[in-house]
Chain A
Amino acid sequence: MSGELERERLFIRPEQWYSNQGISTLFSTRVEAIYPAEKQVITESGDNIAYEKLLLCTGSSPHTLPAEIGGKLKGVYILRSIADVEAMQPEFQAGRKLLIIGGGYIGLETAAVARKLGLKVIVLEMAKRILQRVAARETSDFFRQLHRSHGVDIRESTQMTRFTEQAGRVNGAELASGEKLEADLVLVGIGGTPNTSLAEQAGLDCENGIAVNETCQTSNPDIYAAGDCTSFVRNGQRIRLESVQNAADQGNLVARVLAGEQVSYQALPWFWSDQYDCKLQIAGLNIGYDQTVRRAGSKPDSQSIWYYRENRLIAVDAMNEPMAYAMGRKIIGAGLHPSQAQIADPNVDLKSLVN
């Protein structure tokens, strides 16, 4: 999006990598349906492909806003694929007004890129604070401050009621308060939904995603699923993650399961988000936290927030503090539970807590 990398450098692996590995690929081919009884899938061009085992990695799709409030107007974008980026990028010109709906990672990362390119940016967040769904108040506070210091107008507890238009193109938005905002373009970053329609139509159990067990197997023993499209049980709760870590680790797990290994999905979640020169790195899962502990960083603009649940350490958000992330991954991964006092004390060397 920032235009720093050429298109071919954005792929996880180049095209010829797959054939080198003996993997056949069919690009630009949509699967229309799965016939589990016949163990076949049908593509949109009508071809039948037989399988012994099937792996669904259909990902997730961003929510959009309804056409009735202007969600389908020209100049209103979502962000998921390279095509989305390519559609929006020509509009990223200095001085233009970008309105971002949603103060999650996608909205905030886009805000950072847009500010670097000289756009004027407003972020509207409906909840009380940005990142509310995924992070503690302290982390939200850090990023609000970061974005404001870069000139982003962040408005929380603010609801948009509809986009305004001129000749079919968005030119602003109306807020619940009645206030009107001008915009040259809009990005909607309000979360996503798992792509489960193939699975549902094939009769697989779905519950906020394609429901899988600890080996990523769906309710049909010959069908597996991995990545954003799945939901799985962690600590007694069915959850769904949208992260590179989860997609890669689940994919890897399925390969091992199909190769006959006795393995189950235990991988520790991790995530990152780069905004301006700030590196946020997260280890663990903060779901259900009941306490947070702030640990001052080694520099003025760095800190880490540690999440506890019933006095057990479950996750850490490290801001410009890779040591907290690296050690947090080790500590949580090893199932250790240092006390809140140890974590809060900057004189305690995190490395000493790993053993």
Chain B
Amino acid sequence: MAFITWKTKDGNEISVDVKDGLNLMEAATANNVPQIEGECGGCLSCATCHVFVDDQWLEKTGEVDEIEDTMLEMTDVERQHNSRLSCQIIAAPDLDGLVLFVPEPE
């Protein structure tokens, strides 16, 4: 179990306990987090699950692999140093407390 928080630009926060093994795109869509669509179901073909990871958590969320790195070129909101595709982040106890920011188009 991991307690995950998504923060939106307008200051809203959504926090939920996510079961180990679920990816954070699934967790977001199940909990009405805005902007996260997950159109390809998590197979790294759509980039509609883009999030920014709180800097403190960057290391714990793991490495960005080559495919994800390339797919991050396709996000609606331009990528930043802390961009991830959330379908590639899997809930686990060491992510308890993780904070993610939801990118929103201007």
Interface size on A, residues (CB 8 A): 23
The answer to whether A272 touches B40, judged by C-beta atoms less than 8 angstroms apart, is: yes
**Residue B54 at the chain A interface, CB threshold 8 Å:** no
B70 CB to nearest A CB, Å? 4
Q: Could you say which of B22, B41, B67 contacts A279, with CB atoms under 8 Å apart? A: B67
**Residue B74 at the chain A interface, CB threshold 8 Å:** yes
Contacts of B74 on A, CB cut-off 8 Å? Answer: 326, 329-330
The segment out of A9-17, A118-126, A154-162, A338-346 that lies at the interface is A9-17
B6 CB to nearest A CB, Å? 15
Chain B residue with Cβ nearest A248: B39
Complex CA gap A326/B73 in Å reads 7
Interface size on B, residues (CB 8 A): 19
List which A255-305 residues lie within 8 A (CB) of chain B.
270, 272, 274, 279, 281
Contacts of A241 on B, CB cut-off 8 Å? Answer: none
**Interface residues of B, Cβ cutoff 8 Å to A:** 22, 26, 29-30, 32, 37, 39-41, 43-46, 66-67, 70-71, 73-74
Contacts of B73 on A, CB cut-off 8 Å? Answer: 323, 326-327, 330, 351
Chain B residue with Cβ nearest A322: B70
The answer to whether A244 touches B70, judged by C-beta atoms less than 8 angstroms apart, is: no
User: Which DSSP category, helix, strand, loop or mixed, fits chain A's interface?
Assistant: helix
Chain B residue with Cβ nearest A249: B39
Sample of 9 further A-B pairs with CB below 8 A, known A9-B22, A330-B73: A17-B30, A21-B32, A270-B45, A270-B46, A279-B43, A279-B67, A322-B44, A323-B70, A326-B73
Contacts of B66 on A, CB cut-off 8 Å? Answer: 322
Chain B residue with Cβ nearest A21: B32
- Nearest 10 pairs of A and B residues by beta carbon: A272-B45, A322-B70, A326-B73, A326-B74, A323-B70, A14-B30, A322-B67, A281-B45, A248-B39, A326-B70
Complex CA gap A331/B46 in Å reads 16
List which A327-355 residues lie within 8 A (CB) of chain B.
327, 329-330, 351
